[in-house]
Structure 1
Amino acid sequence: MCGIVAVYNRYGIPVHSEQILGMTDVVAHRGPDDAGQVVDGHVGLGFRRLSIVDVEHGAQPLGSAENGVWLVFNGEIYNYKELRAWLQEKGHAFHTESDSEVILRLYEETGEQCVTYLRGMFGFVIWDKNRDVLLAARDPFGIKPVYYAETATGYMISSEIKSLLASSMIDREVDGQSFYHYLTFQYVPEPATMFKGIHKLGAGHMLTIKNGTLKIDPYYNPTFNIDESRPFSDLVEEARSVLLDSVSKHRNSDVPRGAFLSGGVDSSSLVGMLQKMEPTRTFSVGFDEPGYSELELSAKTAAYLGTEHHEISIDAQAYLDELPNMIWHMDEPIADPSAAGIYFVSRLASQSVKVVFSGEGADEFFGGYNIYREPMSLQWMTSLPPGMRKLAGRLSERMPDGMKGKGYLARGSQSLQERYYGNAKIFLDQEKTIVLPKNLSHEYGSAREVTGPIYAKAAGYDDVTTMQYIDIHTWLRGNILMKADKMSMAHSLELRVPFVDTKVFEFASKIPTKYKISKSSTKLLLREAMKDFVPPDVQSRRKLGFPVPIRVWLRREWYGWAKELLETSRVPWINREHALRMLEDHREGKYDASRKLWTLLVFILWHQMYITRSNLF
């Protein structure tokens, strides 16, 4: 994995080599093995390399002044050998064994359509001097990040926001609408970021700058095409074949590989398939708090599969000590406590390997979240006349907090679009009027402005499929894959996600809902397809998630730290008095405010680091 930067001056003024160097040095963790740059008049490209494929000859930027085409590329292309053979038949000569050169030759053959041929995870920039075109692209599901910003003199592109900030050409200012959405989603939905003027290139999108004008176009949109005609047994066989193929393709590297292993079916299935192909090293993380660790389950699975197993357990102080580093590497506030698990297990794995497999994406593609069973549990209420449902909603409003049935009536009284914003919903819009200072409480658009257009595209899907579609376009790319990339790259570790693959989704998109969800289980088809690769108890185990004991720690070990942070904070975006009341109510056990508190605390730490601090670099 690597770090890339690009600078384009629309006025034809030459880019300075020192600027490129400063922007790449700040992301040296993404590529500690090598560095390179090319400055071609008003365009500059920079690169930091983590050597994975063609270690000896895969240096970048790749290209030549003779052809006038240059590439910087972050990621892995899993079908590059097939593409290479096809391009050689077309008459293209290759000088390396790298997948990077395949992208370059593919661009020479197909132009901007090159991105549609690629199977993999990527963010890349191509500079074509002869056409005066700068092309950037991000993979179909957003595994790899790409950021861009317009400056007074042109545009900049990078793998991480901190590269853009290191240019000193962008003011560090909070985007108010982004903060408002962050309070709901616990991350900033793309294409926005928490920084005013800095944007994410959307998953499955490409960006072109021609004659000084920037244009963004989609090239891939994951859609469901459910096929009710095929029997369960046929789909089970195809699922097994598709997943084995994906795991095999993802094995390509010239450096040692390993895999993350939790107590669940996703990572266990990956390790089980991988172990059939090669001896595998596995890595697990847990927390030093009763009821918050899957280490025992992971160790049992590793022993059953015969892997070389390594594990680490984290206590409250170790988590807190590393929290500033995690926030620094994340670029933006992402208030998912489980990000720490990836951070610590990546640090452990990086001592032995340079590439790891991980199970992200299986839940979104195969129907793995327990919340996907909610439409079944609410079925009798959603079948009631609208008037009766509204009456149930009003009744829930009169019930005291914590009363059994209150939440059920509230959810059942709402449509799916009203109640489901994706896998996380921290603050409701009406709650934000209390969380925000009074002068900010009514300025911004509702969270439904994010999900509304996605729901419109999902028209015609059943409720479960619609929820998957929402999560693929929000939760997966904004939270799951973002924290996986940033927390692994913090330790110069390449993380690969074989479930998040276009061929896997092409298959998963056809699975009928009845083969994904039942009243008692999730991922029905996947569990059946993987039963020969995992221990019997894992095959039937319900989804545990990745529990982190912030609820407990905020009442005990972290209480003093959280109170001091809230009391001394001068962040203008948060009603400090309300936040302190929440903390006291949480400590006294009146209700569980841990996720809401964590969302605010992470933002405060991020704001102090990225906005308030003058010596950021």
Structure 2
Amino acid sequence: MDRLAIRSLCYAVRDGQLHFATRADVLARALGIQEIDPQSIFSYLFHHCIPSPRTIYAGIFRLPPAHYALFRDGALTVAPYWQPRFEELAQPDFGDLRDEFRSILRDAVKDRLDANGATACFLSGGTDSSTVCGLLGEATGQRPAGYSIGFEAEGYDEMEYARIAAKAYGAEHHEYYVTPADLVKAIPNVAAHYDQPFGNSSAVPAFYCASKAKADGYTRLLAGDGGDELFGGNTRYAKERVFHVYSQIPTPLRAGVLNPLFMNPVTGNIPLLKKGTSYIRQARVPMPDRMQSYNLLDRLGMTDVLTPAFLASVDPHGPREHQRQTWAAGPKEASLVNQMLAFDWRYTLAENDLPKVVGTTALAGIDVGFPLLDTRLLDFSLKLPTSYKLKGLKLRWFFKEALRGFLPDEILTKKKHGFGLPFGPWAVKDAALNALAAESLRGVVARGIVRAEFVESLLTQRLKEHAGYYGEMVWILMMLEQWLRRHAPNYRVS
């Protein structure tokens, strides 16, 4: 049962018939559909992906995770077949849960070995990939093969932790350091491989990782995706818990004391009170909108980034409304943390991280498995107490404690990182990468999507001032243009 849409299904109804395919572009070609949906482009710029049920093609839709499609008598029904129910144990026994958890993990890895080939694993040096690496060795009785990507850029390289994990499990460790030249070579093909625009920048490093494993004769890679979203490992869970405290303060105290004190133009500008003002201002934003407080498109200003003609063709409130509907349809009786987990199963996993790994491994020609998304493990996570996921502000407490002694201590205490890509700093320093980015962004301008003055400011000034921050927008626009060139070269805003 694929509750998280590891594999996607696209569909369209034409002339009273249901048509479907695993890829939107394949279905579009089969049906002769060329019309690009501008609202989906806007969603891409907002989310850096296009959340289901939309696709980039007008009239073609993607089945959302945990949904079914029923076509009968010319009518199509799309509805959920599964919704999470968090039934937390009232009297949990840590020892029993730890043993059950470890047993499920072992079975999940064992069940995903390629019976007809050789299985390796991604190894970032994080908690999840290190767990999979260690269990892969147990399951095969051989040295596990781990593939890691590094970057010669300060603050981005995590190879040290991958080496710690490899040493702990006696792994056959394969390291590859991605270069700016690698990006220039891979970006057009990676962008074009997806069936619609996709902006997760770690797709290129993941592609090189998978390509190296394929070249070495491996037929399947195991990925560690899912641990954070099942067991409470993202920093925003702790951050939102802090903001949630405000809503628990009695209304009379909020309305009569805190708001008058902090939310006024006089005291709100006093240095000692500014933090309180900022906290209340953010805490008063309802969920899930609060999680988009730092959305890049919002921060840069939609009217400054996008052309009037493009903005006139879309609903700028669409992406947020999509998220509000998803939040409202979620587990209402669950704790805030569990509500956020269920929300991330949709947006972080199904719409972003899983397409990234599935897409790049497919491009490399190698299969992929996700043991941490095993249905048994998902069901197990539903019964864990919220405090086992986020104990105070400690992230994924149970996962780490249950694997203490199995995972190296250095990895248990490390900060979360992953295959972060130093695209912005490299785009400033490397002439060829800068040229690819600049030429791509000017292509988006020529299509009438983005303002020319914004792009010139981005390329000539802002990127140099803060390469990491503005590099993200450069990447998003570049990948959009690269996809359009291959799949819709004539697209222009009408």
- Structure 1 residue 571 corresponds to structure 2 residue 435: no
Corresponding residue number in structure 2 for 1:441:
311
| Greater RCO, 1 or 2 (C-alpha within 8 Å, sep 6+) | 2
Q: How much does 1:381 deviate?
A: 4.4
- Structure 1 residue 297 corresponds to structure 2 residue 297: no
Local SS of the residue matching 1:215 = strand
Cα 1:507–1:425, aligned 2, differ >3 Å: closer, same or farther?
farther
How far apart in 1 are the matches of 2:110 and 2:244? 41
Corresponding residue number in structure 2 for 1:335:
199
Cα 1:430–1:565, aligned 2, differ >3 Å: closer, same or farther?
closer
Q: Which of 248, 268, 279 does residue 110 from structure 2 map onto?
A: 248
Corresponding residue number in structure 1 for 2:52:
190
1:404-443 pair list within 5 angstroms? 405=275, 410-421=281-292, 425-428=295-298, 431-441=301-311, 443=314
How far apart in 2 are the matches of 1:613 and 1:394? 52
- Structure 1 residue 606 corresponds to structure 2 residue 483: yes
Corresponding residue number in structure 2 for 1:91:
none
Corresponding residue number in structure 2 for 1:149:
12
For the 8 Å contact 1:266–1:362, the answer to whether it is kept is: yes
How far apart in 2 are the matches of 1:145 and 1:386? 47
Corresponding residue number in structure 2 for 1:181:
43
Q: How much does 1:598 deviate?
A: 2.0
Deviates more, 1:581-590 or 1:172-181: 581-590
For the 8 Å contact 1:421–1:451, the answer to whether it is kept is: no
Counterpart of 1:297 in structure 2: which amino acid?
A: Y
Higher helix fraction (1 or 2): 2
Deviates more, 1:382-391 or 1:504-513: 382-391
Q: How much does 1:173 deviate?
A: 2.3
Cα 1:395–1:308, aligned 2, differ >3 Å: closer, same or farther?
farther
1:85-234 pair list within 5 angstroms? 118=1, 139-152=2-15, 154-167=17-30, 169-234=31-96
How far apart in 1 are the matches of 2:184 and 2:279? 35
- Structure 1 residue 326 corresponds to structure 2 residue 190: yes
Deviates more, 1:153-162 or 1:317-326: 153-162
How far apart in 2 are the matches of 1:508 and 1:219? 19
- Structure 1 residue 548 corresponds to structure 2 residue 418: no
Q: How much does 1:258 deviate?
A: 1.0
How far apart in 2 are the matches of 1:244 and 1:326? 33
For the 8 Å contact 2:124–2:161, the answer to whether it is kept is: yes
Q: How much does 1:414 deviate?
A: 2.0
For the 8 Å contact 1:184–1:429, the answer to whether it is kept is: no
Counterpart of 2:182 in structure 1: which amino acid?
A: A
Higher strand fraction (1 or 2): 1
Local SS of the residue matching 2:44 = helix
How far apart in 1 are the matches of 2:287 and 2:65? 25
Q: How much does 1:429 deviate?
A: 8.9
Cα 1:345–1:531, aligned 2, differ >3 Å: closer, same or farther?
same
How far apart in 2 are the matches of 1:608 and 1:582? 21
Q: Which of 135, 151, 160 does residue 287 from structure 1 map onto?
A: 151
How far apart in 2 are the matches of 1:542 and 1:430? 28
Counterpart of 1:304 in structure 2: which amino acid?
A: A
Corresponding residue number in structure 2 for 1:347:
211
How far apart in 1 are the matches of 2:375 and 2:162? 29
How far apart in 2 are the matches of 1:231 and 1:590? 49
1:526-565 pair list within 5 angstroms? 526-557=399-430, 558-565=433-440
Q: How much does 1:519 deviate?
A: 5.2
Summarize deviations over 1:546-576 as a string: whole Å, max 9, x none.
3210231233224343233333442222223
How far apart in 2 are the matches of 1:393 and 1:462? 28
Normalising by structure 2, report the TM-score.
Answer: 0.87
Q: How much does 1:460 deviate?
A: 2.7
Deviates more, 1:456-465 or 1:324-333: 456-465
Q: Give the superposed CA RMSD.
A: 2.8
Summarize deviations over 1:47-106 as a string: whole Å, max 9, x none.
xxxxxxxxxxxxxxxxxxxxxxxxxxxxxxxxxxxxxxxxxxxxxxxxxxxxxxxxxxxx
Counterpart of 2:218 in structure 1: which amino acid?
A: V
Q: How much does 1:260 deviate?
A: 0.9
- Structure 1 residue 385 corresponds to structure 2 residue 254: yes
Q: How many residues align?
A: 471
Identity %: 25
Cα 1:581–1:236, aligned 2, differ >3 Å: closer, same or farther?
same
Cα 1:492–1:562, aligned 2, differ >3 Å: closer, same or farther?
closer
How far apart in 1 are the matches of 2:85 and 2:55? 25
Deviates more, 1:551-560 or 1:487-496: 551-560
Q: How much does 1:590 deviate?
A: 5.7
Cα 1:586–1:430, aligned 2, differ >3 Å: closer, same or farther?
closer
Counterpart of 1:597 in structure 2: which amino acid?
A: V
For the 8 Å contact 1:527–1:539, the answer to whether it is kept is: yes
- Structure 1 residue 370 corresponds to structure 2 residue 235: yes
Local SS of the residue matching 1:191 = coil
Local SS of the residue matching 1:474 = helix
How far apart in 2 are the matches of 1:312 and 1:390? 56
Deviates more, 1:384-393 or 1:463-472: 384-393
Corresponding residue number in structure 1 for 2:323:
451
Deviates more, 1:384-393 or 1:158-167: 384-393
